[in-house]
Structure 1
Amino acid sequence: MRIQAALVESVGGPFTLRDVDIDEPRRDEILVRITAAGICHTDLSTRQVWPRLPMVFGHEGVGLVEAVGSAVTTVAPGDSVCLSYRSCGTCGNCSAGRSAYCQTGIHALNASGTRTDNSTPLSRNGSPVFGSFFGQSSFATHALAYESNCVKIPADLDPVLAAPLGCGVQTGAGTALNVLRPTAHSSLVVFGAGSVGLSAVMAAVAQGASVVAVDPVASRRAVAQDLGAIAALDPADVDDVATAVREITRGGTHHALDTTGRPAVISQAIGSLRPRGTLALVGIGKTAEFDIMTVMTKGIQLRGVIEGDAVPQRFIPHLIALHAQGRLPVEKLITRYPFSEIEAAARAAASGEVIKPVLTFG
């Protein structure tokens, strides 16, 4: 079947629309006609280093099921679906409701560029095109997905609002609601007010928590306060971020969330916490240095989090319900772009001009 996809054809190269061919769905696969797709920071950072080219990225797809393989029972043609990360569904962690830490291999299922048998469902002029990114590669008019990452959603839900739920919103809101679990009597500081950080702000505010956001971009700080943050700090405007947060939260925050992955920011987050506080790390980084004595003597917990500790089939419907109640105004983060303008959307996201670009398909 001939489709149109946004290919990255060189390391760090642009998204370029090309005609490609996609396989018919195998017995465990679901063919989805994409109606909207969010652009996530992971798409942008990964294209800078991805070795297997040409490649189709995209992992916040929403669309309509067009065909299913013989083994698929949870969705049917005509269903509206939101796509998320893929997991095996059978390992110990998946069976225990911790599919974000699938033991079969998050890399093999989500970030290898191929199916698990090393085949790719995409080709161009007879040559392989790599894909299967997060079990979808949704920067295309059609994508092949799986039951583990395909969540049925209401047919009348705007696909543009649904798209970020599959990763960015799930990660931020999930880290707040599933891991940190702030209450009306607790506080949270969020470092980095992009789509993940602001989703955490929304979710924590919905629980009645006092939230502080830290970000160097004025427009993002303004959005954080519009979403209910009690303060939004520019790290360049204060002598010491950790001290400022401790003063605002009267002795230190109960919870902290870092979306940056930057060592200096992680140290600030640790310094912001009160005794027995918890820091959740969701930003991708390699190494960080911090004062071990501070962590030990204050009883601080450090917690790495993938995909908000969320099981998509359970958590995405919960996010949709929160939005319907007016408690998760995802629309305040979104800027719409036609699919044909994907590269412009990506550049706007990378520069900080927009928070969450979402592609629309005619």
Structure 2
Amino acid sequence: MIDARAAVLLEAGADPSLTDIAVRPPIGDEVLVRIDAVGICHTDISIAARWPAKRLPMVFGHEGAGTVVATGPQADLRTGQPVVLTFASCGRCEYCAAHRPAYCAHSTDRNMRGDGAGESSALRLAGTPIGGGFFGQSSLATYAVARQRNTVAIDDLDPVLAAPLGCSVQTGVGTVLNALAARPEHAVVVFGAGAVGLSAVMGARIAGCRAIVAVDPVAQRRELAAELGATATVDAAAGAVAAEVLDATGGGAHAAVDTTAIPEVLTTALSVLRARGTLAIVGLGAPVAPLPVGLIMGRGLTVRGVVEGDSEPHAFIPRLVALAGAGELPLDRLVTTYAFEDFDVAWSAAKTGRVIKPVLVTGS
């Protein structure tokens, strides 16, 4: 067993707290990764807030980046290899076979529910198995066990910048480049300028879109969106959002990206699409929302969900690394770093939205 520190949720309704744990060696196709940096995502926060008491203790985290320190006998990654940890998938279902692992038939079990804290769990607290395996990694820790399938080897990139590639940046950039297949003649509008939304803005700039509109109520985030490639920004609290977006796009967007999952925002997003436009829903929020069916039918609109940017991560994450290396993804503009021991400060910053992407650095 390897001694580690982890952010462990011990009590339902509370925040995780740093705790000493032990991590078992990897087996099968698993890899043991020393986590050098890990992002905090709103998915971590929202799932932790409603995690059932009967399944505690639990470790979250799904934007880990680090270095392979040990491998199971069926894994062919080498020790010392820099890696990004990403979402888990089975590799066997029809969706994985079609190179659509984000829609794996077993995605919910492998990502949202963890490993069940049974004897097979990689994590121990005072000798007792605890919940791990969140998104196949539970990387809010100094060490994490993942499978080869959700461990992506990368070329040299600062782990602080590499960590968000595993989820938020992959989701935002991938939604625009993969799911929406944005082109230079397209106008794109992004609702919500958090880590995913700003990544979508950068994706639209990489695609060369003629108009890129970012909608957010926070002035500083709108300013950053403009610096990252938005050709126009709209204050979501100003009251004339649709009119401003229509004006900025020259009559309507070809594609909209919603990161908010707020019903009123979804309706607005549909209203600013031109005929045959597409709304990509990537945010987790309201479980249901009324939709303007007449508008959708009359304009031939498409509404689709997008998970993890429609990415095949072993192909797409190295592409993101290359874009970052070429200066096309200024990830440093999104990230605020915290020492791992300041986890509680970083978690609070993520919960309140004070920073866009808090990243914990272990100092290993």
TM tier, shorter chain?
A: over 0.9
Q: CA deviation at 1:348?
A: 1.1
Unaligned 5+ runs, structure 2? none
Tell me how far apart the structure 2 counterparts of residues 19 and 348 of structure 1 sit (CA, whole Å). 23
Runs of 4+ in 1 over 3 A off after TM superposition: 115-119
Kept in 1, the 8 Å contact 2:88–2:107? The answer is: yes
Aligned pairs for 1:1-362 (under 5 A) are 1=1, 2-51=3-52, 52-73=55-76, 75-103=77-105, 105-114=106-115, 119-154=120-155, 156-209=156-209, 210-237=211-238, 239-284=239-284, 285-362=286-363
Q: Kindly provide the CA deviation profile for residues 260-285 of structure 1, in whole angstroms up to 9, marking residues without a partner as x.
A: 11111000100010111000000113
Kept in 1, the 8 Å contact 2:117–2:131? The answer is: no
Kept in 2, the 8 Å contact 1:109–1:115? The answer is: no
Q: Kindly provide the CA deviation profile for residues 189-245 of structure 1, in whole angstroms up to 9, marking residues without a partner as x.
A: 0001000000000010111112100111111111101111011111222x3312221
Q: CA deviation at 1:126?
A: 2.4
Q: CA deviation at 1:119?
A: 3.4
Q: Kindly provide the CA deviation profile for residues 58-95 of structure 1, in whole angstroms up to 9, marking residues without a partner as x.
A: 1000111111111112x111111100001111211111
Q: CA deviation at 1:118?
A: 7.4
Q: CA deviation at 1:299?
A: 0.4
Between stretches 49-58 and 107-116, larger displacement belongs to 107-116
Tell me how far apart the structure 1 counterparts of residues 35 and 174 of structure 2 sit (CA, whole Å). 24
1:58 partner amino acid: G
Kept in 2, the 8 Å contact 1:168–1:195? The answer is: yes
Tell me how far apart the structure 2 counterparts of residues 3 and 282 of structure 1 sit (CA, whole Å). 33
Q: CA deviation at 1:128?
A: 2.5
Kept in 2, the 8 Å contact 1:109–1:116? The answer is: no
- 3-state SS of 1:236 partner: coil
Tell me how far apart the structure 2 counterparts of residues 118 and 95 of structure 1 sit (CA, whole Å). 30
Q: Kindly provide the CA deviation profile for residues 312-348 of structure 1, in whole angstroms up to 9, marking residues without a partner as x.
A: 1000001011112211111110001011111111111
Q: CA deviation at 1:174?
A: 0.5
2:172 partner amino acid: G
Q: CA deviation at 1:21?
A: 1.4
Tell me how far apart the structure 1 counterparts of residues 117 and 256 of structure 2 sit (CA, whole Å). 36
Q: CA deviation at 1:116?
A: 10
Kept in 2, the 8 Å contact 1:8–1:16? The answer is: yes
Identity of aligned residues (%): 50
2:48 partner amino acid: R
1:350 partner amino acid: K
- 3-state SS of 2:4 partner: strand
Q: Kindly provide the CA deviation profile for residues 100-130 of structure 1, in whole angstroms up to 9, marking residues without a partner as x.
A: 0011x11221122216977321111122211
2:107 partner amino acid: I
- 3-state SS of 1:63 partner: strand
Kept in 2, the 8 Å contact 1:203–1:327? The answer is: no
Q: Kindly provide the CA deviation profile for residues 115-149 of structure 1, in whole angstroms up to 9, marking residues without a partner as x.
A: 69773211111222111010100011100001111
Between stretches 163-172 and 322-331, larger displacement belongs to 322-331
Tell me how far apart the structure 2 counterparts of residues 111 and 301 of structure 1 sit (CA, whole Å). 27
Tell me how far apart the structure 2 counterparts of residues 230 and 310 of structure 1 sit (CA, whole Å). 26
Q: 1:334 to 1:133 in 2, by over 3 A?
A: same
Tell me how far apart the structure 2 counterparts of residues 157 and 340 of structure 1 sit (CA, whole Å). 23
- 3-state SS of 1:43 partner: helix
Tell me how far apart the structure 2 counterparts of residues 297 and 116 of structure 1 sit (CA, whole Å). 50
